[in-house]
Amino acid sequence: MSLEPTVAAVSVALAKARAVPAGSEEMVLAADTLVVIDGEILGKPAHRAAARRMLERLRARAHQVVTGVVLRRGDLAWAGVVSTRVVMRTYADSEIETYIERGEPFDKAGGYAVQDQTFRPVERLDGCYLNVVGLPLCAVAAGLNALGWAARPAEPPACAYCRAGAPLVARSES
């Protein structure tokens, strides 16, 4: 039985946070990022063929990146989910092979990194850029605020990466 992606992301982040022994008064931050296309969660590719299949499937298509974030301090916990719509560019098979040859896909959900300056797989995104990187700071700030750790009690605004996400990865073909 598979979980709905937002539940799955929070569940894994919570399990990571719980791996830190209870009783500590230190703030624990855990996150888990999933790539979801056609209702299927793409994990980290285990080998070259899996990486190639994922990147081919994502090519020139939209998908969601969902990150579950959990903050825990003692008995208090906060959880949130950030979802970003990502549109991949039409990259060539040779670009996929070069990316795989560099060893890049194997520790990344969906087999890609939005921040890779050589491959640059993303055409545009709607939402938080840092969510696609793997840690949406806007959610972390909201969680810290909810747990009373914010420098100011006011609700933090959306981060600059949320507001400017699409232009940060937009490509111009000239």
Give residues with Cβ within 8 angstroms of 151, minimum separation 6: none
Residue 32 annotated among the catalytic residues of the structure: yes
**136, 112, 110: which is closest to 122 by C-alpha?**
112
> Distance (Å, rounded) from C-alpha 51 to C-alpha 57?
10
Q: Which of 32, 75, 107, 116 is catalytic?
A: 32
CA proximity to 105, closest of 61, 65, 45: 45
C-alpha 134/C-alpha 120 separation (Å) is 16
Which residues are known to be catalytic? Answer: 32
